[in-house]
A and B are shown apart, each in its own frame.
Chain A
Amino acid sequence: MKLKTFKLGGVHPPENKMTADIPVVPIDIPKRVSVIMSQHLGVPAVPVVDRGDKVKVGTLIGEAKGFISANIHSPVSGTVFKVDGVTDATGYRKNAVIINVEGDEWEEKIDKSDTLLKEIKLSSEEIIQRIKDSGIVGMGGAAFPTHVKYMFPEGKTADTLVINGVECEPYLTSDHRVMLERPDEILVGVSIMMKAGKVDRAKIGIESNKPDAIKILSEKAEDYPGVEVVPLKVQYPQGAEKQLIKALLNREIPSGKLPLDVGCIVNNIGTALAIYEAVQKNKPLIERVVTLTGKGLKKGGNFLVRIGIPAKNLLEKLGEEIPENTGKMISGGPMMGKAINHLDIPVTKGTSGIVLMSEEESKRNKIQNCIRCSKCVSVCPMGLEPYLLEKLAEKDMFEECEKEDIVDCIECGSCSFTCPSSRQLLDHIRYGKQNVMRIMRERRQQ
């Protein structure tokens, strides 16, 4: 059978999924955690606790502010040490609630048991409210507040829920492990999301390099009406929502529009699990699965990590040090993740993995002249011309950049990845795109 995929562009970087067979283990709670108030896209949450306040696991410590924002809950029990700035993966200092840990006492309303609760008691509106209250955000990396996706603007409806189990980033295996270890919870979560979005079908897209996950989820999905698991051909960036919808439904989101404009809601597999726990167990988003991997490590791993625990604790759990020849540390995957300069950064809701790369792998190759080989054009999943955008952006020709649709760039990095001359196309395109978006904002304000 020919596997589905998206047709335009795409690359196939080495997969390097070395931790795919390693089961998820929980990380011990340290003496102190730092919970950043802006773990999501949109407006940072406002701290509602202060120095000396006692908190339990699940206590609201940061309140959403504005429409696109998310609540933040305490991942540990103890006393608030202070509210202060902490450096996160972006390298900027962000407001954070720092908590000294005492014991592990949970809020009484949270159901800590492992029993699978299949029956959905809440109504559609109640589910959305619960998702919002529980601070659920997209677990794939971008961390977009999930409830916003279910609050349809006037006149808009959805017909399909798209669940992203693609995990097209090399190295990362957190979604893969979640699918293998928590399939029932995921499927109940998917049913809850279908009810919330008032859709009667859901498609779970999984790339064919995870046959075990495809098998277990398709077998179990037979008990859930309307849920279908679709194996996809391995191709990057299939996890990008536009490409995923194209692959699964052959619908093309028009430029500047959202999945809802083609009748779709797109959520990550990890988000389905988080929604299950929030709705059925009343458990807010306080932990997630994080992959720690790299060729220099003896053995990587997948870990269940409370939010706010520093990334270095994952390494400690493995009993390893940062390898001697490490040249780059990445929060997220190697195609779209952010390079970080220390492992003290706390895990956030969007941290899917930490990848350590050797000096050799980290170095960029020498930049050579463009030989007009047109590889960047052929791999661009948005049908753009990266070589041209690079030149225009380099010369600050933002008007031309806008005409050449620079804002459609999804920053997947396929162009820079493939360029034989090692030109850093995406660096320049980002610069151009940011400037064009600024110009467009200014124009709207006038």
Chain B
Amino acid sequence: MSNKLIVSLSPHEKGELSVEKVMWGVVIALMPSFAISVYTFGFDAIKVVLLSVVFCIGIEFLIQKFMLKSEVTILDGSAAITGILLAFNVPSNIPWWQLLAGSVVAIGISKMAFGGLGKNPFNPALVGRAFMLASFPVEMTTWPVPFSNIWSPATDAITAATPLGRLAEGGVKALGAMTDPAVEAVDYIDIFIGKVGGSLGEISAAAILIGGIYMLFKKIITWHIPVFYLLSLAGFSGLLWIIDPSKYADPLFHLIAGGAMLGAWFMATDLVTSPMSVKGQIIFAVFGGLLCGAIRIYGSYPEGCSYSILIMNAFVPLIDKYSKPKRFGKEVNYG
């Protein structure tokens, strides 16, 4: 027997879960979307994702090692997630230095400046994306046509409009609704499986769903945030569609087009920046979905998903304060 026994307080048993398992689990869940993006955009997709991950991990390493002189925790997987998500939010032909700038903002300002893992109030990848969209509006909205010269990098960008872009530009007619057969109709199946233009990771709703279900299965996330976010978005857009289908797109389109799926499953569910109680998570998701619909339909940007989540991130402390879980033995009247 070793002469040193540990005498600590209970519990003496510890669970299986660890930060690494949670974070790398999310990375695995992002892989189907990555595969689709490589299939659609080819070499550029690999380049952008790899660069973004290397930038994010590298910046976290430099900050921890040389600025904070603290323990280096780059292998916990959280910087890798930020890197992948940031890459998923940009077009595949984004210049590398713009991606680097986005990574510095995402990791340096949005995460490390607040104290690192677990301390950031806003989703780092979304802050990075918001910064890039404001700073490089042209590059951030120039979408390469899917399947064009995918294995020969650095071809001239031939741009394709995203489904949401077409909606914002030309109204519901631009989607090729029944009313206007002259316009090539948007094929919902194509949007669902990802044969459309758009940011790297958002194009395939199907791949995102597979990743989301994997996270549910692994108990990394619960179903409340994605389901309520999407329901709320569908409900809001559906209500307007019922009122005037010639002016507003139908709710199914809103669900599968653009970043709503990616946002609902991977951004809004970010553990650090979402509320703690189930009640709070539902409030967070419902308002997030409403905001997303409102920005898409009434705002000047075609896509509102990322902003809706960032705005709701700001409300999380307030939501946490006022949405306590139901306590055992309070509000009971027995005997």
Name A residues whose Cβ lies closer than 8 Å to a Cβ of B. Answer: 8, 11, 13-14, 91, 170, 242, 246, 251-257, 261-263, 321-330, 334-341, 355, 357, 359, 361-365, 368-375, 377-378, 380-385, 387-388, 405, 408, 411-414, 416-422, 424, 426-427, 430
B6 touches A369 (CB 8 A): no
A369 touches B116 (CB 8 A): yes
CA distance A427 to B329 in the complex (A): 23
Question: Shortest beta-carbon distance, A418 to chain B, in Å?
Answer: 5
CA distance A369 to B182 in the complex (A): 57
- A369 and B119 contact, Cβ closer than 8 Å, known pairs A263-B335, A327-B6, A382-B329: yes
CB neighbours (8 Å) of B154 from chain A are none
- A8 and B6 contact, Cβ closer than 8 Å, known pairs A369-B117, A371-B19, A385-B276: no
CA distance A131 to B118 in the complex (A): 54
Q: Which of B10-18, B93-101, B200-208 has 4 or more CB atoms under 8 Å from chain A?
A: B10-18
> In this complex, what residue of A is CB-closest to B275?
A374
CA distance A369 to B5 in the complex (A): 27
A426 touches B11 (CB 8 A): yes
- A372 and B271 contact, Cβ closer than 8 Å, known pairs A364-B8, A365-B14: yes
CB neighbours (8 Å) of A339 from chain B are 5-10, 12
A252 touches B11 (CB 8 A): no
> In this complex, what residue of A is CB-closest to B326?
A383
The answer, yes or no, to whether B218 is at the interface (CB within 8 Å) is no
The answer, yes or no, to whether B109 is at the interface (CB within 8 Å) is no
CB neighbours (8 Å) of B66 from chain A are none
Among A11, A246, A365, A417: residue with most chain B CB under 10 A: A417
Lowest 5 CB-CB distances: which A-B pairs, in order?
A413-B11, A369-B118, A255-B329, A420-B17, A383-B327
> In this complex, what residue of B is CB-closest to A8?
B328
CB neighbours (8 Å) of B78 from chain A are 371
From B12, B14, B21, B328, contact of A330 by CB (8 A): B12
Interface of B is mostly: loop
The answer, yes or no, to whether B186 is at the interface (CB within 8 Å) is no
B1 touches A384 (CB 8 A): no
- A340 and B7 contact, Cβ closer than 8 Å, known pairs A11-B15, A362-B12, A364-B14: yes
CA distance A246 to B328 in the complex (A): 10
- A326 and B1 contact, Cβ closer than 8 Å, known pairs A368-B76, A375-B17, A417-B14: yes
- A252 and B328 contact, Cβ closer than 8 Å, known pairs A263-B335, A369-B117, A372-B271: yes
The answer, yes or no, to whether B324 is at the interface (CB within 8 Å) is yes
Name B residues whose Cβ lies closer than 8 Å to a Cβ of A. Answer: 1-2, 4-15, 17-19, 21-22, 73, 76, 78, 115-119, 222, 271-278, 281, 324-330, 332, 334-335
A427 touches B9 (CB 8 A): yes
CB neighbours (8 Å) of B325 from chain A are 377, 380, 383-385
Query: Could you show 29 A-B contacts with beta carbons less than 8 Å apart?
Result: A13-B13, A252-B329, A252-B334, A254-B334, A257-B329, A323-B1, A326-B2, A326-B5, A328-B6, A328-B8, A334-B10, A335-B10, A339-B6, A355-B12, A361-B12, A368-B73, A372-B271, A372-B272, A372-B273, A373-B271, A374-B281, A377-B276, A377-B325, A382-B328, A384-B327, A408-B327, A422-B14, A422-B18, A426-B11
From A262, A327, A364, A369, contact of B334 by CB (8 A): A262
> In this complex, what residue of B is CB-closest to A431?
B9
* Besides A261-B334, A341-B7, A417-B11, 11 new A-B residue pairs in contact (Cβ under 8 A), listed by A number: A13-B15, A242-B328, A252-B334, A255-B327, A327-B6, A329-B5, A369-B115, A372-B118, A383-B325, A426-B9, A426-B10
CA distance A244 to B286 in the complex (A): 35
CB neighbours (8 Å) of A381 from chain B are 328
Question: Shortest beta-carbon distance, A397 to chain B, in Å?
Answer: 14
CA distance A17 to B69 in the complex (A): 46
From B13, B18, B276, contact of A420 by CB (8 A): B18
CB neighbours (8 Å) of A426 from chain B are 9-11
CB neighbours (8 Å) of B115 from chain A are 369
CB neighbours (8 Å) of A422 from chain B are 14, 18
CA distance A361 to B275 in the complex (A): 33
CA distance A338 to B271 in the complex (A): 33
CB neighbours (8 Å) of A417 from chain B are 11, 13-15
- A357 and B271 contact, Cβ closer than 8 Å, known pairs A8-B326, A242-B329, A374-B276: no
CA distance A51 to B4 in the complex (A): 37
CB neighbours (8 Å) of B8 from chain A are 328, 339, 364
CB neighbours (8 Å) of B19 from chain A are 368, 371, 420-421
- A416 and B11 contact, Cβ closer than 8 Å, known pairs A326-B1, A327-B5, A374-B276: yes
Question: Shortest beta-carbon distance, A117 to chain B, in Å?
Answer: 35
> In this complex, what residue of A is CB-closest to B272?
A372
Question: Shortest beta-carbon distance, B328 to chain A, in Å?
Answer: 4
CA distance A362 to B273 in the complex (A): 33
> In this complex, what residue of A is CB-closest to B4?
A327
CB neighbours (8 Å) of B13 from chain A are 13-14, 170, 334-335, 413, 417
B10 touches A371 (CB 8 A): no
A382 touches B327 (CB 8 A): yes
Question: Shortest beta-carbon distance, A159 to chain B, in Å?
Answer: 10
CB neighbours (8 Å) of A373 from chain B are 22, 271
